[in-house]
Structure formats: structure tokens, C-alpha cells
């Protein structure tokens, strides 16, 4: 079972070493970039994903509070934003991404949000079909070449 743990001095190097496949690098920022950016992103939440003592991925989210500086008039009003999700190449296909989505919905609920939204690259190999499995669908909006997906946060 996957477990979300805070990024700390003791596990930083391990999380920095996690990589997606070579053919997936264009789909998500590196963990180094995400871990750096999160310090400057208001209302953000970052966790390493672990199975026992093995690191398997990284997740970052943002609580889209009304005063978030990036909030646009056409953004959903009561939403959490799934900013980054990566499962390391060697750990994909084992159900960890699915479990991570359970954690993402749980975090959205803990913020009192009833929608989850995210951007997905429109490039080959993107994860939109993965997100569709969790009720997150294209809204028709494209920002900087990335499709904006949204869907309801299920009850726990
Ligand atoms: C997308 C990602 C998080 C999925 O993680 P994962 O651990 O491989 O996914 P799971 O093993 O939990 O798969 C759950 C289900 O989704 C399916 N699935 C996984 N990736 C998929 C994809 N890219 N497209 C369609 N379906 C996918 C699986 O086949 C599985 O189906 P099943 O339940 O019928 O067996 C992972 O592949 C990844 O990190 N990709 C690279 C980075 C990326 O694109 N991140 C998203 C940025 S927006």
C-alpha cells in the first residue's frame, strides 16, 4: 500500500533520484524542479510516495483558494489542483498511480474541495486516458499547449 510522506533531508536524495521513463520526460517536470518550485508556490502540498522503505513516486498539489495568485476568472471555484504526479519508471503498472489518485482525492477533501483539476500535456504518451479512469475529463480549455482536465472529488 502506498504511503505519502513529507520530503525531508533524510529522503531528499532518494526522491531526487526517481525518474520517469526516457520517453516520458516531456510529460512531467523532474522531481528536482518540483521540489524547488514548491517552496514558492502558495497553498502547495508535496509528498514522496513510498511502499514500505521503497520510494516509488512524487505528488504535488495546490489548494486553489480564491486568493491564489494564479486564479483566473474561468477556473473552477472550489477545486484542488493536481500539479505534479510521477511514478518512477520501474514502479509503473503496479497500481501505485491509482493509489496516488486516492491520496489526491483525499487531500482535496481535506481542503474541503469538491473538484479536482489538472493540466495534461497534449504530447504523445500523455496520461489523459489514465485520468479519465478517475472521472477527470477534458474541459475543452487549453493553456500553453496543455489540456485542462477537471472532475468531481468522490466521497471517501
Ligand atoms: C501516469 C502514471 C502516474 C500512472 O501510474 P501507474 O502506477 O503506472 O498507474 P497504475 O499502475 O496505477 O494504473 C492504473 C490503471 O491506469 C492504467 N494506466 C496507467 N497509465 C496509463 C496511461 N498513460 N494511459 C491510460 N491508462 C493508463 C493502467 O493500465 C491501470 O488500468 P487497470 O486498473 O485497468 O489495470 C505514470 O505512468 C507516470 O508517472 N507517467 C509519467 C509521468 C506523467 O505522465 N505524469 C502525469 C503528468 S500530468
Strands 115-121, 79-87: parallel, antiparallel or unpaired by DSSP? parallel
- Mutating to test ligand 1, I would choose from 127, 132, 143, 144 the residue with most ligand atoms within 8 A of its C-beta, which is 127
pLDDT in tens, 93-114: 999 999 999 999 999 999 999 9
Mean pLDDT for 71-92 is 94
Ligand 1 centroid distance, CA of 67 (Å) = 32
The residue behind cell 514502479 is: 91
Ligand 1 centroid distance, CA of 73 (Å) = 31
Closest residue CA from atom 7 of ligand 1 = 97
User: Residue 16 belongs to a domain with what CATH number?
Assistant: 3.40.630.30
Residue 92 has pLDDT above 90, yes or no: yes
User: The whole model's pTM is what?
Assistant: 0.97
Give the burial string for 81-112 (b: 16+ CB within 10 Å, else e). bbbbbbbbeebbeeebbebbbebbbebbbebe
Domain that residue 27 falls in: 3-152
Burial class (CB in 10 A: 0-12, 13-18, 19+), 47: buried
Closest residue CA from atom 33 of ligand 1 = 95
Confidence of residue 72 (pLDDT cuts 50, 70, 90): confident
Is residue 142 a contact partner of residue 122, using CB atoms and an 8 Å limit?
yes
For ligand 1, what atom is nearest to the CA of residue 94?
11
pLDDT at 156: 81
pLDDT at 74: 83
Residue 129 in contact with ligand 1 by CB distance below 6 A: yes
Residue 94 in contact with ligand 1 by CB distance below 6 A: yes
Burial class (CB in 10 A: 0-12, 13-18, 19+), 57: buried
Please count the structural domains in the chain.
Answer: 1
Closest residue CA from atom 48 of ligand 1 = 120
Residue 35 in contact with ligand 1 by CB distance below 6 A: no
pLDDT at 71: 87
Residue 95 in contact with ligand 1 by CB distance below 6 A: yes
Amino acid at each position: 500500500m502506498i504511503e505519502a510522506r513529507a520530503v525531508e533531508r533524510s529522503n531528499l536524495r532518494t526522491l531526487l533520484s526517481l525518474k520517469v521513463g526516457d520517453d516520458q520526460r516531456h510529460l512531467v517536470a523532474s522531481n528536482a524542479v518540483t521540489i524547488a518550485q514548491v517552496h514558492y508556490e502558495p497553498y502547495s502540498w508535496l509528498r514522496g510516495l513510498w511502499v514500505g522503505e521503497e520510494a516509488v513516486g512524487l505528488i504535488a498539489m495546490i489548494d486553489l483558494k480564491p486568493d491564489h495568485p494564479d486564479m483566473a476568472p474561468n477556473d473552477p471555484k472550489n477545486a484542488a489542483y493536481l500539479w505534479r504526479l510521477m511514478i518512477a519508471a520501474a514502479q509503473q503498472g503496479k497500481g501505485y498511480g491509482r493509489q496516488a489518485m486516492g491520496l489526491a482525492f483525499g487531500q482535496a477533501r481535506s481542503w474541503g474541495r469538491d473538484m479536482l483539476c489538472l493540466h495534461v500535456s497534449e504530447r504523445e504518451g500523455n496520461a489523459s486516458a489514465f485520468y479519465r479512469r478517475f472521472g477527470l475529463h477534458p474541459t475543452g480549455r487549453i493553456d500553453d499547449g496543455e489540456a485542462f482536465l477537471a472532475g468531481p472529488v468522490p466521497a471517501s
